[in-house]
Amino acid sequence: MLQGISNKTLYNVGLSYKKADVTTRGNFSISKEDQKTLLETAKRRGIKEIYVLSTCNRTELFGLADHPFQLIDLICKFSKGTVEDFIKVAHINKNNQAINHLFRIATGLESQILGDYEIVGQLKEAYYLAKELNTLNVYLERIFNLALQASKEVKNTTDLSSGTTTVSYAAIQYIKDNVSDFSDKKIVLYGLGDIGKNTAKNIVEYFQHNNITIVNRTFEKAADFASKHQLNVASHTELKSIINETDILIVATSATQPTITEESIANHKELLILDLAIPRNVQPSLGEQTGITLIDVDELSKETDKTIEKRKQQIPIAENIIAKYLKELEEWFAFRRLTPALNSLKKSLENIQHEVIEHHQKKYDSFNAEHAELVTQQIVNRITAQFARHLKDENTQVNKSIEMMQKVFNFQEETINAENN
């Protein structure tokens, strides 16, 4: 696809969650400030078309270079990683493989959670930074734009991103599917770690704010969060009495032993308990009490597993969408390759046109040069258009055709290359 549009190769070098563990990914992470410096350094080294993507799940460079090691060296220079460690977990793609990889990233096919579109925002940040530092050429911009268009179509026309993929959201989905009049139920969320916060934000979308109470061992943390999201708050000392007034208890504490025990709940209390913690933070025997339904992470994970299986069925559809945009990109590249040759052809024809008109002006006093130029220009345009159709024909041997045009109309390949670059 890229052949003939640049004297350099498009490389994608990087690492991701597929081969690199979280520690290794952390070592190769590149800060926002260092990403800027990396791009500026690349330009000084003669790598003028490049962008960098660094997230918690991947660090990757896409750039036009003579050799992939030029990009690998940049990653290692601006991270804490070494070349030796990078090689163990790295992937290297070039030209069409690199382009296809970018499209798969943009459409969520390469996300750690299949269909996760958080990466799209991160891709856009990479694009804007490269744009700001002038490290994108017309080809990389086109690749980027079509990848984002493919991403949008996959998101809007497939179910690749639908359903439950996190425990915090699976808890909400379980309530919606299994509790009648769920929006009117009183809920207590106990614990405000990462899972607790994410769960609270999901709860807010589906439940009445005045029915949600936040409890945390550190009251100030709970009060601050509740204030920002217009929720109720209670102190840790009130937990037992609050539980006995609620319908649903969500436990998202991060203790190493149960924080909710049989002593926490009155006998025969009708209560749904969702334990989102690992290890369990709710005493398992509570699930045996009359009126109590206890759901743990393993049960909720079945919801996420079902979602991933459903999403996998959407992969062929997403890949067909990618193929459509890759074909559009290939056609655009083909046109870009032909344009310099066609421009040179047109220029040669116009030189002949002007020579002939000038000759007739000198030879015939009554010669209407203006009219002749108008008519012959139409002929030049039609000949050029005819050659364009010929070069776009699938059966045309483009290189041989351009070579023939060069010989017949006496324009040089150097002119084409100069315009191409």
How would you write the pLDDT of the chain (421 residues) with one tens digit per residue? Answer: 655 456 899 999 999 999 999 889 989 999 999 999 999 999 999 999 999 999 888 999 999 999 999 999 999 999 999 999 999 999 999 999 999 999 999 999 998 889 988 889 999 999 999 999 999 999 999 999 999 999 999 999 999 988 767 888 889 889 988 999 988 899 999 999 888 888 888 888 888 788 999 999 999 999 999 999 999 999 999 999 999 999 999 999 988 889 999 999 977 678 999 999 888 899 999 999 989 999 998 888 887 888 889 999 999 999 999 999 999 998 888 777 777 777 888 888 888 889 889 888 888 888 998 998 999 999 989 988 888 887 777 666 666 777 777 777 766 444 434 444 4
Determine the pLDDT at residue 347.
85
What CA–CA distance (Å, rounded) separates 10 from 360?
A: 51
- Dig out the tokens for 16 from the structure: 């991701």
Distance of CA 6 to the CA centre of its chain: 25
Determine the pLDDT at residue 411.
60
What CA–CA distance (Å, rounded) separates 366 from 353?
A: 18
Determine the pLDDT at residue 41.
98
What CA–CA distance (Å, rounded) separates 299 from 189?
A: 19
Residue 192 DSSP label: -
What CA–CA distance (Å, rounded) separates 248 from 200?
A: 13
Query: Any bridge partners for residue 61, and if so which?
Result: 13, 52
- Dig out the tokens for 43 from the structure: 């330009």
Determine the pLDDT at residue 274.
96
Contact 195, 170 (CB under 8 A): no
What CA–CA distance (Å, rounded) separates 41 from 195?
A: 40
- Dig out the tokens for 63 from the structure: 């750039």
Nearest to 87 by CA among 33, 159, 14: 14
pTM confidence score:
0.68
Residues sharing a CB contact under 8 Å with residue 202, sequence separation 6 or more, in sequence order? 168, 169, 171, 172
CB-neighbour burial class of residue 3 (10 A; exposed 0-12, middle 13-18, buried 19+) = exposed
What CA–CA distance (Å, rounded) separates 416 from 336?
A: 11
Determine the pLDDT at residue 395.
63
Contact 170, 304 (CB under 8 A): yes
Known catalytic residues?
A: 56
Query: Any bridge partners for residue 343, and if so which?
Result: none
Residue 260 DSSP label: B
Determine the pLDDT at residue 36.
97
Q: Give the pairing type, strands 212-215 and 187-190.
A: parallel
DSSP string of 264-317? Answer: GS-TT--EEEEE--SS--B-GGGGGSTTEEEE-HHHHHHHHHHHHHHHHTTHHH
Helix axes 315-363, 138-157, angle to 10 degrees: 140
- Dig out the tokens for 164 from the structure: 């439950």
Contact 189, 252 (CB under 8 A): yes
Determine the pLDDT at residue 255.
86
- Dig out the tokens for 412 from the structure: 């040089």
What CA–CA distance (Å, rounded) separates 166 from 112?
A: 12
DSSP string of 348-381? Answer: HHHHHHHHHHHHHHHH-TT--HHHHHHHHHHHHH
Distance (Å) of CA 220 to CA 189, 373, 411 = 15, 83, 77
Determine the pLDDT at residue 3.
53
The CA dihedral of 317, 320, 324, 327, to the nearest 10 degrees, is: 160
Q: What is the CA radius of gyration of the chain?
A: 32
Taken in order of first residue, the domains within the chain and their CATH numbers are 9-161 (3.30.460.30), 167-304 (3.40.50.720), 337-420 (no CATH)
Residues sharing a CB contact under 8 Å with residue 186, sequence separation 6 or more, in sequence order? 211, 213, 245, 246, 247, 248
